[in-house]
Amino acid sequence: MKCPGCGAAIQFEDPKKPGYIPREVYERRLEEGREILCQRCFRMKHYGKLEPVEFNWDFKNQLKSYLGGFDVVVWVIDIFDFEGTYREDIAEILKGKRVIYAINKVDLLPRVVTVKEIKEWVKKRIRVHNPDDIRIVSAEKSFGLSSLVKYLSLLTDKALVVGVTNVGKSSLMNKICTHENTISPFPGTTLGILRRKVREANLYLYDTPGIMTNDRILDLLDSECQKRVLPREELSRKTFKPDNGRTIFMGGLCRFDIHFETEKNPIFLLFSSKEVTFHETKRERADELMRNRLGDLLIPPCSKTEFENFKWKREIFTLKEGEELAVAGLGWMSVRRGPFTVEVTVPDNVKLVVREALV
Ligand code: GDP
């Protein structure tokens, strides 16, 4: 028997795999003669929330198969984690489509950064057909949403919505759409996608499952810890003016060892969620802290974690004023006085990028 929503075979064993429904729920619905949707489709239809399941397909083929029927794609990107959420592999797949970039969570940035500045910064990072295709929004504060809807309505009456997990795609959809949710099975895919009507507009948005990544610090945390360290309000920031050979932790999974040959100490700021610990120490103490204090003094992780569980890498960068070093899924360092050398220690697959300053 197949789920009429997504077409996946109904199964009672694994909640993380497509087609799952608890056996007792299945039996009750059968008895009552009601529609039998898998748990994921049921929640999609009634709560408008797409839940990830364990995918064993590669997302590229899945995304490609969704694209066929659409000329316009809305790509939701998180300004707090631009490097982790704007991805070349997705850009490559979307080539040839009109992509509207919804740059979300701008409420997290310090107020001194204007919308115009954010847009200019993004414009340098993404090559767009029309600069207005970059939309600066905040789903949380309902900022820029009606203008996004207006813009989309002029282009099309249906658009596909894509994005990696945790960029705020569901939050954004919930703000602009009605509760009228239809699951559309898509040919060639194992999962259906959700069709949602935009309020007060002749426009339908088709929500796709959040694309999973594996190179953000966030990806290494359990879902409780993710919720805790995902920033909800303006980012916390702290200024450092370290002496030579000092170490600064941004949580327990990212460590900066600082070296410089200049007369004056370097100055930089760290930006991250309020829940992330910033901690400065002597280089000699750093190894011991990493071994014993992850998840306790140093958060994230959120619970006591063995140092040995992670495979680490070290990368060395020389940074100067006006540059930032972004750590995907965690935050960034923004240089006010340099140059200096920073040796970064993070789990092996975490993406590190030096960029022009956003803040
Ligand atoms: P999805 O996985 O892309 O669907 O992301 P969600 O909509 O579940 O959002 C992930 C997290 O980001 C949640 O904790 C949201 O509350 C938060 N979030 C979403 N949009 C915004 C926003 O505009 N600003 C802020 N500060 N947080 C947001």
Residue 54's pLDDT band (cuts 50, 70, 90): low
Dist. CA 271–CA 250, nearest whole Å = 9
Residue of 166, 211, 218 best suited for mutating to test ligand 1, as the one with most atoms within 8 Å of CB: 166
Percent of the chain with pLDDT over 70: 96
Give the torsion sign (CA, 241, 245, 301, 105). positive
pLDDT in tens, 21-47: 999 999 999 999 999 999 988 888 887
- Tell me, using a 6 A CB cutoff, whether residue 163 lines ligand 1: yes
- pLDDT tens profile 88-144: 999 999 999 999 999 999 999 999 999 999 999 999 999 898 999 999 999 999 999
Most ligand 1 atoms within 8 A of CB, residue of 90, 111, 141, 171 to mutate = 171
Q: Over 70: is that where the pLDDT of 56 sits? A: no
Locate the ligand 1 atom nearest the alpha carbon of residue 108 and give its number. 26
Statement: residue 297 has pLDDT above 90: yes
Whether the CB of 165 sits within 6 Å of ligand 1: yes
CA of 19 to the centre of ligand 1 (A): 26
Q: How far apart are CA 354 and CA 327, in angstroms?
A: 9
Over residues 326-346, the mean pLDDT reads: 98
- Give 48-213's CATH code, choosing from 3.40.50.360, 3.20.20.80, 3.40.50.2300, 3.40.50.300: 3.40.50.300
The residues near 45 (Cβ < 8 Å, ≥ 6 apart) are 5, 37, 181, 182, 183, 194
Residue nearest to atom 13 of ligand 1 (CA): 168
CA neighbours closer than 13 Å in the CB half-sphere of residue 223? 4
- The predicted-structure confidence for 215-228, as pLDDT tens digits, reads as follows 999 999 988 999 99
ipTM: 0.99
Ligand 1 pocket residue status of 107, Cβ below 6 Å:
yes
Mean pLDDT in residue range 146-158? 98
Domain boundaries, the chain: 1-47, 48-213, 218-356
For residue 80, the cross-strand partners are none
